[in-house]
Amino acid sequence: VSTKGLSVDLQDGNYDALISVMKHLGQVKDRQIATDEMFEPLKQTIELLKTYNQEMPDDVHQLLE
């Protein structure tokens, strides 16, 4: 999903441009779920490492939030 599709200048009455932007917003929403799910295995790995007293740096935890 490109930012170009979201940066369209919407003019009053331009229905096609509005639909295009709304379509891009829907794609962003759909992709957000998939992207969030990609990080779940990494979070689980970090939790496993904690059980072996292996801590990750704070910046890693912040990036996963």
Encode pLDDT of 2-60 as tens digits: 677 777 788 888 888 888 888 888 888 888 888 888 888 988 998 899 899 988 888 88
Tell which residue, 1, 47, 49, has the closest CA to residue 21.
1
Both tokens of 14, joined, read 């331009």
The pLDDT value recorded for residue 1 is 53
Q: How far apart, in Å, are the Cα atoms of 55 and each of 4, 63, 65?
A: 40, 15, 16
* Predicted model pTM: 0.53
> Which amino acid makes up residue 38?
M
Find out whether 4 and 28 touch, Cβ atoms under 8 Å.
no
The span from the CA of 54 to the CA of 56, in Å, is: 7
